[in-house]
Amino acid sequence: MSLHRVDARFLLPRSATSAFVAGDNGWVDGLRAAGVQVAREPAGEADLAVASSRDLAAALRAGSEMVILEGRSGERKLRREGYATWRVLPLPRLETPVLLLPLDQPAASSYAVEYWTVPGTLAKRARKRVVQTLVRRGFLPPLKPLIIIGLRHGRSLPFVLERARGLGIPADVEWFLVSRPEYELGRGLFVVFPIGSSTPAWVVKFARVPGYAEPFDRDEHGLSLVKEAPPSIAGRAPRLLGRVDADGLHASVESAAEGRRMDSFLSSRVARSTKLGLIETVADWVSELNRSTRVAADHGAAERTRLADEVVSLWVERGVSANLVDTVANVPLVLQHNDLGCWNIVADRGSFTVVDWESARRHGLPLWDLWYFLADALAGLDNAWDPIARERHFVRLFRGELPASRTLFTWTRRIVDTLQIPTTAVGPLATLCWLHHARSHADDMQRLQRHARHAVAPEWLTVRLPEIWLGQPGLGSSWNAWNA
């Protein structure tokens, strides 16, 4: 089952508490996981009816005020029955949508195709251009699935956006919805445009399940930390405009970052030198983040205790020294983003914004953001996209066996020199970095147990990095290739 399979429910003008589902289309389990009462017979007055085009007659018998129809036919019949209708294009596929694009909002939908899709081959790039041309004109691309929304009382804003209007979003806007099917509790995202604008002004994040406040609390805390940083740092983060309750779902409104995710940029046909230039620009910002937010090592007692008790202790039986944290006792502390992958960087025309500060730490260890970012970005630069290629690239990158290693080592030395970090502490810092990030899987499992017990936590590459880091010659706590 998947909460993402039923994300089209967020396009409705009000949240559904009950639904009739016709046929076997994957909606039953998803709606039940979201806390919606589901009927399998068209009796009573459910808020919502869901059906494929071939089951439209059954959906109409339910008499619901809201209908979600999957398929390329049935719109005329809905209108004859008194429903106002509009069409939505799910990309890349109906079952696992990443984007939900309203076809009557061409500026927003065209922007979404341009900046939020990542075609990996020449053929896919060609198809992307065709899709973008068609949605810009409000047309449905051939062979693509379609979602038809039917409403008894006319169209209005999706309920999440309606609740966000008190935070500055007008009633008349364009928008598209971003889903993240790789993680059940990943927040949904409305990207919102002023009418007449080709670029977004607002982003509205929302939870998929009631009561899930944790990422919003952490995001608010992280953005408050970066707001206190110097303008050169704070200016690269979005502004939090406020939080709202959307029919029991937590939501927040931020200023929008313009451009495409950096992983999309690195997969594009842009020249390697241009891609490397952006990587260097972000690395320079990370270096400034470390320099401008550093505080003395004596601020780090709580963080060192956490690392010793919750991280290192899990690896002592596998050969990690129980005293590893002591080797970084004199290292200054810095503000950490703590999840600085390319998926959290939005870039356009040489500018960039760092988003999703929910994992930020005020007193974190230096260099972590740099290594985490460059391990991801330089793999993308070298077209190491699949998991096995990424693991091999990681090893060779940190050993100094790739041309990209020069970039990694140059920026490592710069931060080491600027913060006057003892060279003997660099290997232990890197070891603690990868041991710490491997905990993300366990943290995800705990959150899923609390809020979505049906789901399985995804296993990111970071889960495997400690074994790689500790098991490969030239790496581990004695890592010194950066200083050769």
The CATH number for 366's domain is: 3.90.1200
Q: Is residue 241's pLDDT more than 60?
A: yes
Residue ranges making up the domain that contains 439: 260-483
pLDDT value at position 269?
84
For residue 255, being part of any structural domain is answered with no
For residue 44, being part of any structural domain is answered with no
Q: Between 461 and 481, where is the model more confident?
A: 481
Q: In what order do the strands lie in the sheet with 249-255?
A: 37-39, 18-21, 48-52, 66-70, 147-151, 84-91, 99-102, 173-178, 188-194, 202-206, 249-255, 240-246
CA-angle at 343, arms to 341 and 346, nearest 5° = 110
Model confidence, pTM? 0.91
- Provide the residue count of the chain: 484
Task: Please tell me whether the peptide bond between 106 and the residue prior to it is cis, using omega within 30 degrees of 0.
Answer: no
The dihedral over CA atoms of 339, 340, 344, 349, expressed in degrees to the nearest 10, equals 170
Token pair recorded at residue 272: 């390697």
The SS3 call for residue 1 is coil
For residue 202, what is the enclosing H or E element? strand 202-206
Q: Is residue 451's pLDDT more than 90?
A: no
Q: Left (φ > 0), alpha (ψ -120 to 50) or beta: where does 87 sit?
A: beta
CA atoms of 391 and 379, how far apart (whole Å): 9
For residue 337, being part of any structural domain is answered with yes
| Residues in contact with 60: Cβ distance below 8 Å, sequence separation at least 6, in sequence order | 49, 67, 77, 78, 81
For residue 88, being part of any structural domain is answered with no
The residues that bridge with 175 in the sheet, in sequence order, are 192
Token pair recorded at residue 215: 């990422």
Total domain count for the chain?
1
Q: Write out pLDDT tens, residues 179-196.
A: 876 667 779 999 999 999
B/e letters for 39-70, b = 16+ CB within 10 Å, e = fewer, are eeebeeebbbbbbbbebbebbbebebbbbbbb
CA atoms of 59 and 22, how far apart (whole Å): 6
For residue 411, being part of any structural domain is answered with yes
For residue 181, being part of any structural domain is answered with no
For residue 380, being part of any structural domain is answered with yes
Q: Write out pLDDT tens, residues 362-371.
A: 999 999 999 9
For residue 235, being part of any structural domain is answered with no
